[in-house]
A and B are shown apart, each in its own frame.
Chain A
Amino acid sequence: MMPRGIEEEYIRLLRDYLTGQGEDKLYDAQQLGKWMLQQDISPEEMIDLHGRALEHLGDVPEFVRASFSVLTEVMIEYGNEHRAVTTLRSKHKQLQSEMAVASAMQKSLLPRELPVFPGVEIGLVSVAAKQISGDFYDIVAHDNGRFCLTIADITGKGISAAMCMSMLKYAMESLGEMLPGPGEMLRHLNRVVERNTDPSMFVTMVYGCYDTNRHSFRYAVAGHEPGFVYRARDGRFYDMEGQGRALGICNDCSYVEREVRLEVGDVLMLLTDGVTERKIDRDYLQRDELVAYLEAEVGASAQAMADGLYSKLLALSRFELSDDYTMIVLRRT
């Protein structure tokens, strides 16, 4: 809709330019163009305005007047494109605001601080590739010097991953202090995911409880990338044992529980595949290459190890984070 007064303004601009008042009138025309776009004036309306303005300035030859019809037709497609872009922009803005809400919600699901226990250090790095992460982790302190650890990778990105995360968190919380064993917990979560998500959605997870009295981690694995255990006695890294079906693949799955005990100086590392699936130059990182980088961090605190490895891998992949990255490090001191 053409605002009032614009027609007079345009006629004046056109007259001034045509009577030789200088190139700065073209700059004014440019500025007017920007303003017209902000007012949502379509290309067809502009052509119409120009035609009317010409009529005010003198006798317009018939062929010129007629030519405007051709120009208008040509510009209709430009006008459609302009309207489509405006609609897209507004949808994009709405989506961004929805993402911001989901992102804030997601942050509220993750632990705000790491619990502190004597004899064990906990380090954590979790970085989302985009606004919303598909990685989930939780560290919850329980009675008798125990804490439970969850690390998970949810398929899909964006809002659906954030919603699935919320569902998992509350499925776990609803069990309260009943604290089922890791195998039973994963069996319960498998049923929750399988029944409540899209057929293509699944979650990989390691869930376990660390007993700071016995320094043992009892855990179960659901289709998740194996972690590592560093043994101070021989200075070597080992793959964490354990396998199981990812959550959401089958109706009812059972999960085998395993236990790993840490001696002084030993380190346990849980990670998501954003750590192992790094593209370094043109090849993907191999697990034994990752171990070489981990070896360089041995001796540092749990947090320093987690930070050091992340910085190293980020630099090697030229500061590109293509997938969400999460690593939890437990070090017995």
Chain B
Amino acid sequence: MDLTIKRISSEKEHQVNLCGDIDAYTGPKVKEAIMTLVESPDVASIVVDLAEVEYMDSTGIGIFIAVMKACKQTGRTFLVQNLSPRVERLFRITGLYELIAIRKGESE
């Protein structure tokens, strides 16, 4: 399945809305989009919205782990929002649920 990425920037934070499945095929595209923000000096806060992500496999978890570690090292805030039940389950089982800031934001 195809994945689309939409970026919304405001003064407070940079938001990345993902729509589609995150797997081994779409993963690299997602990683690149988010890591570009992590490496950008103007970005202090990153939010990834997963409202339109029904399915994610371990590739997605790996991406969020790498982003979390990179943000921690560079002092950026990173959080994810609007996890579907399936994705939330994956976060809980792998233990990422306690490590990454999660919020129930407003979905479009």
Contacts and interface: CB of A to CB of B under 8 A. Distances in A.
A249 B24 contact: no
A85 to B, nearest CB: 23
Interface residues of A, number: 27
B65 A273 contact: no
26 contacts: A153-B58, A155-B59, A155-B61, A156-B62, A199-B65, A200-B62, A200-B63, A200-B65, A201-B62, A202-B58, A202-B61, A204-B58, A222-B95, A224-B93, A225-B93, A243-B93, A244-B95, A245-B96, A245-B98, A246-B61, A246-B94, A246-B96, A249-B96, A249-B99, A277-B57, A323-B57
A203 to B, nearest CB: 10
Contacts of B31: 200
B95 A246 contact: yes
Contacts of A244: 95
Interface of A: 153, 155-157, 198-202, 204, 222-226, 243-246, 248-250, 253, 273, 277, 284, 323
Nearest to B96: A249
A242 to B, nearest CB: 10
Contacts of B61: 155, 202, 246
A264 to B, nearest CB: 31
A223 B94 contact: yes
Given A223-B95, A249-B94, A249-B99, A199 B58 contact: no
A120 to B, nearest CB: 27
Given A199-B69, A246-B61, 4 more contacts: A157-B24, A224-B93, A246-B95, A277-B57
A202 B57 contact: no
Contact of A223 (B24, B57, B69, B93): B93
B53 interface: no
Contacts, number: 60
Contacts of A153: 58
- Most chain B CB within a 10 A radius of its CB, from A202, A225, A244, A248: A202
Contacts of B98: 245
A204 B61 CA distance: 11
Contacts of A199: 65-66, 69-70
B66 A284 contact: no
A202 B94 contact: yes
Interface in B28-59: 31, 55, 57-59
B18 to A, nearest CB: 16
Contact of B62 (A155, A243, A250, A284): A155
Nearest 6 pairs of A and B residues by beta carbon: A245-B95, A200-B66, A200-B62, A223-B94, A199-B66, A246-B94
Contacts of A225: 93
Contacts of A222: 95
A222 B66 CA distance: 18
Contacts of B59: 155
Given A155-B61, A199-B66, A204 B94 contact: yes
